[in-house]
Amino acid sequence: MEVRRDPRSFLFFIILLLIINSPEPQSQNFHTRSQYDDVLDHEWDELGILNRTRYGDFDAGKDKWLNISGLREQDRFAWDLLGPVQQRATEQVKGLLGTTADAFLDGTTDDTGQFPIYRNVSGYVQGEWVRSSLGRVRKPSDLNTTAIPENTPFPVFEYDRNLTGSGGRLRIHITELEGRMQTDENRTVSEITARVIIGDRGSIGGNWWEFVLNGVHFPQFGGSVLTTTSERFAGIFALPHLQLSPRLYSASQELLNRTIQETIERQTNRVYPIWNPWSSAVDGTSEGMLTNPHCEFVLFLQEHPVQFQARKEQQTLPDDIDMNWLEHELRFPTGSSLPPHSSLSMSMVGFSPDCGFVVESKGPPNYPPSEYVHLVGSKTEEFNDRARHGIVAFAITLFAQLLFLIKQMKETATPSTRNRVSFYTIAMLAVGDGFGFLALVFLHIFIGTSQLALYTTAFLSLFSVVFELRFLMDIWTVQATEQIRQERQQASSATQATTPTPNQASPPTASSPTSAPAELPLPVTAARPVDTTPIIIAPDQDDPPEPTTPTPGGTPTATTPARAELGSLYSRYCLLLIGIFFITLQFTTVRSTARAFYFNTLCFLYLSFWCPQIYRNIMRNCRKALRWDFVLGQSLVRLVPITYFYAVSNNVLFSQTDVRALTVLAGWVWVQILALVSQDILGSRFFIREGWAPPAYDYHPLLREDEEGATMPIGSAQAPDDDDPMSMSKAGESKGKGKKVFDCSICTQDIEVPVIASGASSENAPGMSGMILQRRTYMVTPCRHIFHTPCLEGWMRYRLQCPNCREILPPL
C-alpha cells in the first residue's frame, strides 16, 4: 500500500532550511570594536574640519584641499569638474526662476509666493539622461585603487555605476518626511534622501544600478544637492563645499553640524555597530573591502514651477491658489476640489568626482519639449492614490474571473463534462493566480503603500486559487478513474491474448505427468465459472468507482490511492509556485535585456493556457469542453494586468513599456481562441493529418448510401399511414436529392441529413463543402443511432449511454 504524503511536510522542510541557514547574531569581538572606535574617531575629526572651514576653503583649481576622504589631493578625484558643473546647475536655476534666482541664491529675499513649487518634494521623477560634454574620460591609472585589496589584481574588479554609454533611463525616489527630517527654524533647509535607479544603454545587456544619496533641500526656490558617502568619499561631510553660493553653504553647514553630531552619538550608543549611516547601498549595509569599487555621485536637482489649468466650467484661473493649502489637501484630503495642475518635474545635473563623467536630464532648451521634458513624476500622495486605484481595478478583474470560473464549474458538474476539460489548462490558471497572491502579499515592500488594499486583494486571489484547486481535484478524480479503467481493459485484453483456448492442449507442467492425456473441452451444456466480482454503476451511470484489489489480509484497497495522489498534486503545485516566485525575484535584479527576456517568456508561457485544451481536444476528438464566456472572459481579464504593465508608462511597478511585446502576447491569446473556435465549428482535428493523433470515434461522419443500408443510421422519419399511399415509406426515405430524413428519439423531431450517393467519391461529391458544415448538425453513435447534435450533447453531459439501446458511448 502506498504511504500517503502530507504536503505540509514540504513546507516544514523549507522552513527548517531557512532557520538552519539564517545567521545568528554574534557579539562583537575586541578587534572589531577597536576598528569601530577608529571609524567614530575619524567621523568626529571630519566633523571638526567641517565646523572650522568656510566657503572657498576647498578649491581644486587654486590648490586648496581639505583633510576629508575624497577631498585630499592624493585621492586623485576629478574636482576640477566641480566649477563647470556648478555653473551649469546655476544656469538651470536661472532659466526656471528668472531674474530673482540671484536673490534666492544670495539670500537677499525669501519671497516664494510668486513661484508655485512644492515645499515637500517627497515623490518620484523619471526620464532620460544624456552625457554632457563637460565630463572627461579617465583611465584606470587615474583612479584611486587604495580600496582594492593588494593581493587581488585590478582587472578582476569592475567599477560599478560607471556610465559608459551616451544615455539611458533614470528614476529618482525622493524622501522628505515632514516631522522626522531635520530642518532649521525658518524652514529654509531640510534633510532629504533619494534612491536613484540609473540605466546605461551603452553597456552590454543594458546594465543598471541602484544606490542612495543624502543631501539637503532648499524649499524657498526648490533646489537640492545630494551626494553618496563611502569609505573613499566622505560626501556628507563635503556637502556644504558643493553648494552654489555662500548663503547655501552657511545654511547647509549649520544643519549638517547638528544632524551629523546626532547621528554619530546614535552610532556610539548602539549595541551593534553601524559602520556608515549614510551608506549608498540600498539595503543600508556597509560597503566593505570585498565589494567592487564604484563611482561616487553628486546630484544637483531643481524643481520646476507647478503649472495650473482652468477647469472647463471656468474661463480664468483663480489667483489665490496657495501651495501650502494644496500640499496639505494632498496629504490630508478633506474633499475639496483640487485645480488641475502639472506633475512634479525636475531638472538634474550630476557628475562623478572619481570617474569623471557628467550627466544631465534630457529636456529643453537643448531638446524640443515635445520629445523630452527632463524628469517628470508625481508626489507621494498622488502615487498612493494611483496605486490604490490600480489595486481596486485588479481586484475587479479577480472578481470577474472568479465569476467565470464558478459558471464553468457549474457547467462541468458531471464526470462526462469534466473528462473533456484539460487538467493542465486549469492548472496554469491556478499557478497564475497563486503567483498573483504571493506578489500581492510582498508588493507592499516595493511600493510602500496601500497595505490594506493589497492584502484584501491578495485574499481574493487566494479565494480564486481555492476554487481552481477544487476544480482540479474534481477533474483529476474523473480523469484518473478513466485512466485506471483503460489500463484495466488493456491488461484484460493482453491476458485474453495469452490464455490458451479450450481447443488447445495445455503444455505439460512439472506437477503433472507427461503421459496424462489432454483434457477435452467442456460440453456446451456444462456450467461455466461465474465471476462473483460485483460491478457497481455510479448513480449517473457514467463512470465506475475506483477498482480495488484484495490484499493478503482480505481487505480491498484502491490500486491508486486518490488521496495520496491529490496530496502529491498539491505539494507539486506549492513547490512549483514557490520556485517560480523566487526565480522571478532573482531576475528583477539582472540586466535589462535578460530581465525583459525572462518576463516576456514568462508571460508568453502563462498566456498559453488554452494550448493544453486544444491538445486534449485533438487527442480525444472532443469539442465544447469549456463555455465560451469562460474562454473569452478569462482571456480578457488575464490580459488586463499584463496590458497595464506593458502599455502604461507610469505604472506602480515602474516597469518599462513594450507595446510590441504586448501586441505579440495579445495576438498569441487570440490565435488560441481562434483555434478553439475552429475546432468547435470544423472539428477538433480539422488541421491534423491522419495518423498524427490516436484513433478516436467521429460522431459527425459523412453518410454514404449503399445497397444493403449497412452503413446508414437506424431510424425512420414517421410511421406509415395505411390511408395515405404517399406516406408509405421505408426507414430513411429520401426527402430530396442527396438528403435523407431520420427521427431523433430525444426530441422526436425530424433530422434532415446529407448523404453521398452510392458509388460517388467523397472528394467529387456534389455539395461536398456544404456537407462538411451540415454534418455538425447531427451525431451518429457507434450503434448506428442518429440524433440532433444539441440533443445528444445535452444527453451526454449526464450519461455516456445511447438513449435508445443503452450502449456505452465513447466520450466527446
The pLDDT tens digits of the residues spanning 381-407 come to 999 999 999 999 999 999 999 999 999
**How many degrees, rounded to 5, is the angle at CA 29 between CA 27 and CA 33?**
105
Q: What is the three-state SS of 339-407? A: CCECCEEEEEEEECCCCCCEEEECCCCCCCCCCCCCEEEEEHHHHHHHHHHHHHHHHHHHHHHHHHHHH
Identify which has the larger pLDDT, 86 or 293.
86
The per-residue pLDDT for 669 is 96
Q: Is 18 helix (H, G, I), strand (E, B) or coil?
A: helix
Angle at 73 between CA 72 and CA 74, to 5 degrees: 95
User: Average pLDDT for residues 263-271, to the nearest whole number?
Assistant: 87
Higher-confidence residue: 759 or 474? 474
Measured N-to-C along each axis, helices 423-447 and 451-498 cross at an angle, to the nearest 10 degrees, of 160
Give backbone dihedrals phi and psi of 389, rounded to 5 degrees, phi first.
Answer: -65, -40
Which string of b and e fits 208-242 if b means at least 16 CB within 10 Å?
A: bbbbbbbbbbbbbbbbbbbbbbbbbbbbbbbbbbb
Task: Please state whether the peptide bond connecting residue 365 to the residue before it is cis, i.e. omega within 30 degrees of 0.
Answer: yes
Q: Residue 237: which of 359, 58, 357, 106 has the closest Cα?
A: 58
Can you name the residues that pair with 358 across neighbouring β-strands? Answer: 351
Instruction: Give CA separation, 293 vs 162, 540, 611, in Å.
Output: 10, 73, 49
Grid coordinates representing 785 are: 443511432
Taking residues 231-253, report their average pLDDT: 92
Mind giving me the DSSP string for 709-778? -TTSPB--SS---SS-GGG---TT-EEETTEEEEE-TTT--EEEEEEEPTT--TTTSTTHHHHHHHGGGE
Q: Where are the alpha helices (DSSP H) in 53-97?
A: 82-97
pTM of this structure: 0.78
For the ranges 66-80, 294-308, 765-779, the lowest mean pLDDT is seen at 765-779
Neighbouring CB atoms inside 10 A of 115's CB total 19
Q: Cα separation of 303 and 624, whole Å?
A: 60
Segment among 286-295, 320-329, 394-403 with least mean pLDDT? 286-295
255-290: b or e for each residue (b if 16 or more CB lie within 10 Å)?
Answer: bbeebbeebbeebeeeeebbebbbbbbeeeeebeee
What pLDDT was estimated at residue 300? 96
Cell readout for 41 is 574617531
Q: How far apart are CA 127 and CA 376, in angstroms?
A: 6
pLDDT confidence of 458, banded at 50, 70, 90? Answer: very high
Whether 236 has a pLDDT exceeding 60, the answer reads yes
Query: What CA–CA distances, in Å, run from 6 to 415, 469, 546, 571, 577?
Result: 27, 16, 22, 8, 17
**253-267, 522-536, 633-647, 777-791: range with lowest mean pLDDT:** 522-536
User: Is the pLDDT reported for residue 532 higher than 60?
Assistant: no
pLDDT of 797 over the 80 cut: no
Answer whether residue 551 shows pLDDT above 50.
no
Q: In this predicted model, which residue has the larger pLDDT, 118 or 537?
A: 118
Q: Between these two residues, 152 and 41, which has the higher pLDDT value?
A: 41
Q: How far is CA 221 from the centre of its chain?
A: 42
Instruction: Provide the b/e sequence for 643-658 (b: ≥16 CB within 10 Å).
Output: ebbbeeeebbebbeeb
Whether the per-residue pLDDT at 555 is higher than 60: the answer is no
The closest of 191, 227, 199 to 212, measured between CA atoms, is: 227
Residues 523 and 525: their CA atoms lie apart, in Å, by: 5
- Sequence-distant (6+) residues with CB within 8 A of 487 are none
Beta pairing class for 703-704 and 556-558:
unpaired
* Dist CA 761 CA 628 (whole Å): 36
Average pLDDT of 63-72?
Answer: 91
| Average pLDDT of the residues in 667-677 | 94
For 427-457, what is each residue's pLDDT tens digit?
Answer: 999 999 999 999 998 888 777 777 888 898 9
pLDDT at 229: 93
Q: Which residue has the higher pLDDT, 704 or 10?
A: 704
The confidence score (pLDDT) of residue 518 equals 39
* 25-29, 265-269, 601-605, range with the lowest pLDDT: 25-29
pLDDT tens digits, 726-758:
443 444 555 556 788 888 888 888 888 888 776
Cell output for 729: 415509406
Cα separation of 148 and 292, whole Å? 8
Q: In this predicted structure, which of 227-236, 376-385, 501-510, 512-521 has the lowest mean pLDDT?
A: 512-521
From 89, 42, 708, 128, select the one nearest 368 (Cα to Cα): 128
- Compute the distance between CA of residue 457 and CA of residue 253 in angstroms, rounded to an integer: 48
